[in-house]
Every structure is written in C-alpha cells, then in structure tokens.
Structure 1
Amino acid sequence: MKLRDAPSACPSLWRCLPCPPAELRLDLVLSSAQSFRWWESSPGAWTGVLGERVWTLRQDRDRLWYTVYGEEDEHEEEERDGCSAKAAKLDGAEADGILRDYFQLDVGLSALYRTWEAADPLFCKVAKDFPGVRVLRLDPIECLFSFICTSNNHISRITAMIERLCQAFGRRLCCLNGRTFHAFPSLSALTGTDAEDRLRALGFGYRAKFVSGSARAIAEGLGAEGLSQLRTAPYAEARKVLCALPGVGAKVADCVCLLSLDKAEAVPVDTHIWHIARQRYGVAAGGKSLTPRAYQEIGDFFRRLWGPRAGWAQAVLFCADLRKSQQRASSRDQAWDSRSQDSHGNGPR
C-alpha cells in the first residue's frame, strides 16, 4: 500500500481531525526547521516520530489525516522479511490529543494572522503566501539537544546528525518502507562516560562536548522533569536556566523556550531574522555582527510590534525567508547543472 493512497484505500487504519489549511500547512510547518524528525515519505505525506511512535500525516481539504504504526517486539524484528510496520491500535481520543497538543491546535491561528496583519504591513505581504504556519510544541529534551546541534550548521546536516544520534542512542521503534525509526534518546542514554567519544565518532565535532555536557548538567541538576516544569516559569527565568547549560546561547535558549516551553513571546534571532530586522524594518541593531545587545533589541522590537505571541509571528517570517532562500539555492543549482551539461556538450542542441 502506497502512503499517498492510504486514506482512501484503507480508511479503517486512518483517522482525521478537522483542520483547515489556514490553521495548519503541514508542508510549511514540518519543513521549517522547528523539528528535524519528519520527511516527506510520498507527495503530500509526512512520516516521523512523535511521542515515541511513528506517524504518517497528510492533509485533504479541511481535514488532517493520520495513521500510527505499532512498535516491533524482539521476535518481529528477527522474523520480519520486509520492512513494513503494522498500524497500531491506538485509542482515537488519545491520538487526537497528541496531535492537538503537538500542533497546538487550541490556538486560533487565523485570528492571530489578522492581528499581526493589522499591526504590520510587511507581515501582511508575507502572510498571503504563507498561511497556516504555526509553532510546534516539542518534547523539551528532544528540542534542547536538537537545537544544540544547530549552531553553525544547516538543515540537511542537522537532520542527518539527529538521525545518527537517534540510531546510536535511541530505542528502535519500527521499520517502514525500508527505513528504520528510533525514538529520541533518553537523558540517561546521553550521560554515559563514553557518550562524548561516541558523538564525535558520529561527526558531531565540538557539539559532542555540549550534548554530553548538557545531558550531565540536567541529570545532576533539575532533571528531565524539572526541564519540563520550566513551562510554568516566567520566560526570563527559563531562558536564564537554559543559558547556563553547555553550548546554549541566547538563540538556542529562545528556540527551546518557544518550541517546547510555552514561551510564545520568545523570538529566536538568527542571521535570517537579523537581516530581516535591519533591511525590512530598519532596526539599527548591531554592526557587522549580532551582538548580545543587538539580539535583545531586535527581540524587544518584535515583541512590541507583534505582541504576546511574537515568537509565532517570527516563525511565519522565518519560514517565508527560508523557503525563498531554498528556492534561490535550487535555481542556482539548476543553472549550474545546465552550464555543466553545456560545457560537456550534453546540453540542448
């Protein structure tokens, strides 16, 4: 059974939630560097790990379809000839709740867009081409260690690093269409004495020290539960706790605050947002580098402009800028391929 045919071909294995595109666009949200654990398994269908289970999601008009795959036991791993997981028998209400929480579907996105459009003419221009961009609610452990890997890195490499991390340290979940899926590593799995060496062998470079160091610091301090409890702490307090961890600066801390700790006012400022603030909004912050002071000024500017969910509005601009950058890169690659073919006499005649 092909994944793209699943909703109509096998409805008993699929469930759906009402969810119009204005409230969620899977193709934009799952490819916008909020989570690095989803891949487009067939046109319009996205497969990934959520809540230690493997899911496939797709949209059909005003509905969000999903199916969940069962976890293999030891005998199935040994005896299965192919690599095609079975659908899990998961309580429908529980599964619906997991997705609603993950996509924060209780937050009315269309109303927020209207508020931001009224406050910001530049946002208004972007919004019409990028509807349905909302902020995910990730597990704090997964979010923290994923974003430690993002420093001086690009999306494809980050995705590959996290995949290797899960394969090496995470529990195997199932195999689907030739691909094996693993849960994100537990905190205890990353605190072993050999964790840093193993991470370096996996190509993490200097980030290996930060991942293993932060894992030990959390395990010996507030613990995984304490990290989750930062959801109820004030934004400034949560940010301060995160910035005390090895390898966590202001941007990583803000990503974790926004994407896993319910701090909707957190505005992660990377080079994309820095350039947007300076070039499109005229924010005179920073010279040739993004200083801590400039970082704070830019975040404060957007919080004044967009209000208490400024981080959500930032996610829309970031997604738009990222998509346009990817399109420009794709155009350059196509032009290079064309020139390369012409130079070898393989182009059109």
Structure 2
Amino acid sequence: MNDSIVLDADTPFDLDATLGCGQAFRWEKGADGTWSGTARGRAVRIRQDGETLSFSGADEAFVTDYFALDLDLNEILASIDTDPTIHRAVASCTGLRLLRQEPFETLISYICATNTNIPTVKKRVRLLSERYGTPLPGGAHAFPDAAALAPCSEDALRACVLGYRAPYICTTARMCADDPDWAARLAGLPYPEAKTELLRFPGVGPKAADCILLFAFQQYEAFPVDVWIRRIMRRAYLPHLNESGGMSPKEYEEIASFARRHFGRYAGWAQEYLYCVREDDR
C-alpha cells in the first residue's frame, strides 16, 4: 500500500462493515483482509489494521470523502440511538459509515438491484463496467458514464444479464446523457422533491429512489424499506403490520414516515445499522 491514515480515537470506522453491508457493489474482500474495488473512476485497494487505514489508488482526501470520515459519527449515532432495537444495532456495528457514491453509477446500480440478490447485482454491474467502462490499472474497469451507455441497444444490455431492466437502463442512460446537469440539480432539492425527480426514471421505484438519495446524495432522511427492514420494523415498532404478504406503496410510506419521525434527520443511518444486523432478526 502506498499511503495510510491513522484515525483519531474519536473517529470510529469499521471498513468491513461499511463495504460489506450492501450499499456498494464494486468491492470484494481478499483473504488477507484487503478490499479491492472501483469508486469514482479509480481502482482502489484498502485495508484496516486497528486505527490505521492503508490504501493505494487513492489519496487521503479521496478516502476521507468517499468513506465520510469527516462526519462526526458519534453525534449521528447518539441522535438515532432512541430505543433498545437500534441500540443493539449501533453497539454491534459501530463504525459503519454511509459511503458518498457517484450518482449515475448508483442510479443504474439500484435499477440493477430490483427484485434480486446482491451477488446478481454485483455480476450485472461488473459486466456493464467490463463491456462499456474505461479500463483502469490492474485490469479493473470504471463504471461507464451516461454517454457510454446511452448508445447501447436493449439486446446488448441484456447480455449483461439485465433481463427486463435492459430497456429501463437504456432509457435512463439517454435521459441522463441528454441532461448532464441532472445530478447537480437534484442535489439542490429537498428530500421530497428529489425523490419525485428520481421516480421519473424508468425502473426506479420508492425503495430504489431512497437508496440512491441515501448513498449518492446524502439525503439522510431517506429510509429504504425492503423485506428485511419491513420485518424488523414490524417486530420492533409497528406490530399492526401484516406478518406476510407484499408491501403496498401505502405501507412503504407508513414505515418510512414513522422511521423519519422516530429516528430524526439521520433515519437513513438507522436503516443501514438495522440492515447490518438483519440476520439476527430471523
């Protein structure tokens, strides 16, 4: 590794929890504990040994910004630590941070993520990058930008195992290529208006929109609700919800609105901590 950072004692950070909790799809952990991935057009390797982060392919400013090391995590966790359920999650996963990801990659990645599992999402994103992204040192590929994906046919994208999502990604890439300021404009909007804007993209539903806002736009009141989060919220907070069955848009909004009232302006951080311990809620 070329560079390193020694974290302050009051800067909790858990690299494994942060990269292993499903918020980003371009990272893999090696047998020696080193994570390799691509982010914002860089091929990066990083590992943590206690309070020391060692990395290559990036500089200190990049690592600090991408991993949100400039935020006061203790303050955020104190703000959301409002009940025994979230307290257990915070105690178990202290140091997990929300990444600051590139907007277009996050938008396309979460269209890829609908109705599937994380390994499949990783495969789709990897294939898109290998076929249409810029080569990077070490054999990696950057995620393609909107201009690179916009000319692609639906059939070409289906070869990236996208299935019914191929036309959604075709149209979304063209919309973004035709409107290069879309992300900057969306970043200046309050949460409700920003979510409405994202829902214009085909293939983006309420949950995908909340993930994109949380992970790419730092709209921390966004509270994505999937089957895992619904299960936790029903057990711990909203017992009147049906035990089984699909989740209607009305129920989704009920859960997310409750979370924003209960956890406050960092509800999205609470969501990620609850998701991190989801397997404990079986």
TM above 0.5, one fold?
yes
Question: Equivalent residue for 1:343?
Answer: none
Q: How many correspondences in the alignment?
A: 281
- Tell me if structure 2 keeps the 8 A contact 1:19–1:64: no
Is 1:196 matched up with 2:160? no
Distance 2:160 2:107 in 1: 19
Question: Equivalent residue for 1:237?
Answer: 193
Change in 2 beyond 3 A, CA 1:162/1:147 = same
Question: Equivalent residue for 2:17?
Answer: 28
Q: Partner of 2:54: helix, strand, or coil?
A: strand
Distance 2:87 2:62 in 1: 31
Is 1:185 matched up with 2:144? yes
Change in 2 beyond 3 A, CA 1:19/1:226 = farther
AA in 1 matched with 2:44: W
Change in 2 beyond 3 A, CA 1:161/1:185 = same
Is 1:277 matched up with 2:256? no
Distance 2:277 2:42 in 1: 30
AA in 1 matched with 2:266: R
Matched ranges for 1:208-223 at <5 A: 208-220=166-178, 222-223=179-180
Question: Equivalent residue for 2:66?
Answer: 102
In the alignment, structure 2 segments of 5+ residues that lack a partner are none
Q: Partner of 1:55: helix, strand, or coil?
A: strand
Match 1:160 to one of 94, 104, 123: 123
Distance 1:315 1:125 in 2: 13
Alpha-carbon deviations, 1:223-265, whole Å to 9, x = none? 2x32233122111111001001110000000001111112000
- Tell me if structure 2 keeps the 8 A contact 1:23–1:109: yes
Distance 1:308 1:300 in 2: 11
* Pairwise CA distance, 1:166: 0.2
Distance 2:8 2:272 in 1: 19
Distance 2:8 2:105 in 1: 26
* Pairwise CA distance, 1:17: 4.2
Distance 1:21 1:161 in 2: 38
Largest Rg, 1 or 2: 1
Q: Partner of 1:248: helix, strand, or coil?
A: coil
Is 1:123 matched up with 2:95? no
AA in 2 matched with 1:321: R
* Pairwise CA distance, 1:283: 4.6
Q: Partner of 1:159: helix, strand, or coil?
A: helix
AA in 1 matched with 2:234: R
Q: Partner of 1:57: helix, strand, or coil?
A: strand
- Tell me if structure 1 keeps the 8 A contact 2:11–2:69: no
Identity percentage of aligned residues:
34
Distance 2:15 2:33 in 1: 8
Q: Partner of 2:100: helix, strand, or coil?
A: coil
Question: Equivalent residue for 1:77?
Answer: none
Distance 2:76 2:149 in 1: 39
Change in 2 beyond 3 A, CA 1:21/1:197 = farther
Match 1:114 to one of 52, 61, 78: 78
Question: Equivalent residue for 1:133?
Answer: 96
- Tell me if structure 2 keeps the 8 A contact 1:285–1:297: no
- Tell me if structure 2 keeps the 8 A contact 1:143–1:256: yes
AA in 2 matched with 1:207: R
In the alignment, structure 1 segments of 5+ residues that lack a partner are 1-5, 7-12, 69-89, 329-349
- Tell me if structure 2 keeps the 8 A contact 1:283–1:298: no
Matched ranges for 1:319-334 at <5 A: 319-321=276-278, 324=280
Question: Equivalent residue for 1:47?
Answer: 36
| TM-score, normalising length: structure 2 | 0.93
| TM-score, normalising length: structure 1 | 0.76
* Pairwise CA distance, 1:27: 0.7
AA in 2 matched with 1:149: C
* Pairwise CA distance, 1:61: 1.5
